[in-house]
Amino acid sequence: MDAARLQHSFSLVAAHGDEVPLYFYSHLFLTRPETRAMFPATMAAQRDRLVGALLKVVGNVHQVQTVVPYLQQLGRDHRKYGVTAEHYPFVGASLLATLEHFLGEEWGPELAADWTAAYGLVAKVMTEAAGESEQQTPAWWDAEVVGHERRGPGIAVVTVRTEQRLPYLPGQSVSVQSPLTPRMWRYLSPANAPRGDNTLEFHVRAVDGGWVSPSLVHATAKGDLLRLGAAVGDGLLLDESADDDLLLLAAGTGLAPLRALVEQLDGRRQRRNVDLYVGARSEDELYDLPALRQLQERNRWLTVVPVVERGSSPGMAIGDPAQVAVGHRHWRGALTYVCGSPDMVSASLDVLAAAGVDRRTVRCETYTYNGHVPAGAGPLPREEARA
């Protein structure tokens, strides 16, 4: 494969914008109508994900080792959509037809051979990873809703129980599908460390314009059955062997994975201090404060600082979590975890950098179109932003 030729040709195709995924899916559904049932009714978000995935793969085709973990994750994750090895040639044929259509006279035998080889490698990595995963875990886990509590405007805490254990680590995320939004998945981070009773607690805000999150907040009740995908992500994992102090910065339901990290350490004696700054627009939106205070009472090493944008109550700081934290002390030598909306994370990184915090000591979520990006591969938008 000629990497430079692949990248140049795809840049020409990508310049056509939304026309590219529209042509691709039209070709796929016309030539293989049986594949339409694997996709959600609305295809707007799906079209964005296709282009994002292609950009990721083609942009790193010259350093295959960078995209292999990404492709392996895609292969494992696509099992929950019902994708099998027989579907990959269908996708390949539509991809080549799309490239030929938009490249016109630029398309020729050599370029066709390059793209055929590139897609063959992609399909091989993904199908092998899916096959290995099939021997170890189900394609998805059925999860019964055993608790649903509305907390604050547009926020719910949803507790589910799986019959079969779903393996995950605190800080990871799992994809969630509601029967009200078939074939649409939303990544959520469990707010608890793994429990012996197989329950997982999700903190969900109904995102304006979203599909899955509003259904989970407003139309889900005890007894409902959700589907959960396999756990993904390593950006927020905790190294328990280290004893560095921890600075945890959370906003909104971005609290969930950071609370899971605190639960991971709950009840342990340790030398490190953990400072959790949890932000919200108002006191009413500090939906999990009682549970956080209970954790603080049990663990002398934990300090919880609630931060609100407006209003003032005893024990509440005013501002945003990063600004309040750097105003309290310097954090050089601490490990910092940041989780919230993309704007919150970006602003927090700027505040920390201005305060002299080494970016290499800061960890935050980085998502692909349906999972986490391998280290160094760079971010793409997630399905719905965490509020």
Q: Domain for residue 252, yes or no?
A: yes
The pLDDT score that the predictor gives to residue 47 is: 60
Q: Domain for residue 380, yes or no?
A: no
- 268 and 250 within one domain: yes
**Which residues, 6 or more positions from 290, have their beta carbon under 8 angstroms from its beta carbon?**
none
Report the distance separating Cα 246 and Cα 272, nearest Å: 7
CB atoms closer than 10 angstroms to residue 362: 20
Q: What is the three-state SS of 213-250?
A: HHHHHHCCCCCCEEEECCCECCCCCCCCCCCCCEEEEE
* End-of-domain residue from the set 103, 134, 165: 134
- 157 and 130 within one domain: no
**What is the C-alpha radius of gyration for the chain, rounded to an integer number of angstroms?**
22
- 127 and 146 within one domain: no
The pLDDT score that the predictor gives to residue 42 is: 65
Q: Domain for residue 371, yes or no?
A: no
- 312 and 261 within one domain: yes
- 119 and 13 within one domain: yes
The rounded Cα 298 to chain-centroid distance in angstroms is 31
* End-of-domain residue from the set 98, 115, 134: 134
- 203 and 301 within one domain: no
The pLDDT score that the predictor gives to residue 46 is: 60
CATH number of the structural domain spanning residue 193: 2.40.30.10
The pLDDT score that the predictor gives to residue 41 is: 65
Q: Domain for residue 238, yes or no?
A: no
- 341 and 275 within one domain: yes
What's the average pLDDT block by block, 10 residues per block, for the chain (387 residues)?
A: 86 89 91 85 62 70 78 86 89 93 94 91 90 89 97 93 96 93 89 97 90 93 95 88 92 96 91 94 91 96 94 83 95 93 94 94 66 33 36
The pLDDT score that the predictor gives to residue 167 is: 94
- 100 and 80 within one domain: yes
Q: Could you report the per-residue pLDDT of 61-92, keeping only the tens digit for each? A: 777 777 888 888 888 888 888 888 999 999 89
pTM tops 0.75: yes
* End-of-domain residue from the set 228, 263, 297: 228
Phi and psi torsions of 339, nearest 5°: -150, 130
The pLDDT score that the predictor gives to residue 385 is: 36
Number of domains the chain contains: 3
- 191 and 152 within one domain: yes
Q: Domain for residue 100, yes or no?
A: yes
- 253 and 153 within one domain: no
- 129 and 46 within one domain: yes
DSSP annotation of 135 = T
Q: Domain for residue 376, yes or no?
A: no
Q: Domain for residue 60, yes or no?
A: yes
What is the extent of the structural domain holding 353? 246-364
Report the distance separating Cα 357 and Cα 325, nearest Å: 12
Q: Domain for residue 257, yes or no?
A: yes
- 297 and 275 within one domain: yes
The pLDDT score that the predictor gives to residue 307 is: 96
CATH number of the structural domain spanning residue 14: 1.10.490.10
The pLDDT score that the predictor gives to residue 43 is: 61
Nearest Cα residue to 381 out of 187, 181, 211, 191: 187
Q: Could you report the per-residue pLDDT of 97-151, keeping only the tens digit for each? A: 999 999 999 999 999 999 999 889 888 999 999 999 888 889 899 999 999 999 9
Report the distance separating Cα 212 and Cα 68, nearest Å: 29
Nearest Cα residue to 387 out of 349, 352, 339, 351: 339
Identity at 252, one-letter amino acid code: G
CATH number of the structural domain spanning residue 285: 3.40.50.80
